[in-house]
Amino acid sequence: MHYISILKTNPQDMFSLHGKSALITGGASGIGLAICNLFHQQGAVVHILDQNKEKAEEKASALGQNAHAHAIDVTDQTAVRNLITSIAQQHTIDIVVNSAGISHIGTVENTSEEDFDKVMKVNVKGVYNLIHCTIPYMVEKQNGVILNLCSVAGSVGLADRFVYGVSKGAILTLTLSVAKDYVKKGIRCNCISPGRVHTPFVDGFLKKNYPGKEQEMFEKLAATQPIGRMANPEEVANLALFLCSDEASFITGTDYPIDGGFIRLNN
């Protein structure tokens, strides 16, 4: 019987990512940006992958050394493969965080085929593309961590979020499948399911869909979580750091709700 200890001799070394390289999609804003900031603070070489080139470069420049910006459309597998090949020539691929995603309002009846395909392409195919193109490097060194951003919508039905919920349900299953297929190859795969998180996306969503009633709708959405407020991106990033650190080395194939009690306490 073998006992593996990961006890750090210096408590300050806990949750350290020194010597590791992390790729974060959707890394130029919201939850993805919060993860980039925290991972960089903890010593990782951070690769900000985002479709917005200017914003990605701005955020990487603000972080300084060991932060790199990459403009990418996660739905384009050829572009993703070329980018990963380029990154792998200079850095190890230790951590992949799939944070890029889009939302949609609608039921199955009023969700158009075009919108269905668009959400599934970004939220599901985009995650598949990143894992498909990065996991060979992890298999080669028999080590790696994959973290997918899921949602409470992947576990419970949300009104008027049909295709978004479908896409996040797919991510939950994708996470379990990858974890099972690669557990013997030293690769861990988990996902996080946030409830509502106050990001610039939320502010833009309210402005677009509820003009003049932004504050009223914000309070209404916040109140759906038993804890009485939305999360902030940094709280989600804290959980991401734990799951991607050596301190979580015994955790794989698991979904972690971070939802202010939304799933369990709203019954």
* Strand order across the 187-194 sheet: 67-71, 45-50, 21-25, 95-98, 144-149, 187-194, 255-258
Q: How far apart are CA 43 and CA 62, in angstroms?
A: 15
Alpha-helix runs per DSSP H in 106-159? 113-120, 126-141
Residues recognised as catalytic: 164
Q: At what angle do helices 30-41 and 53-63 cross, to 10 degrees?
A: 30
CA atoms within 13 A on the CB side of 13: 8
Q: Chain-centre distance of CA 187, in angstroms? A: 17
Is the CB of residue 226 less than 8 Å from the CB of residue 193?
no
Is the CB of residue 231 less than 8 Å from the CB of residue 196?
yes
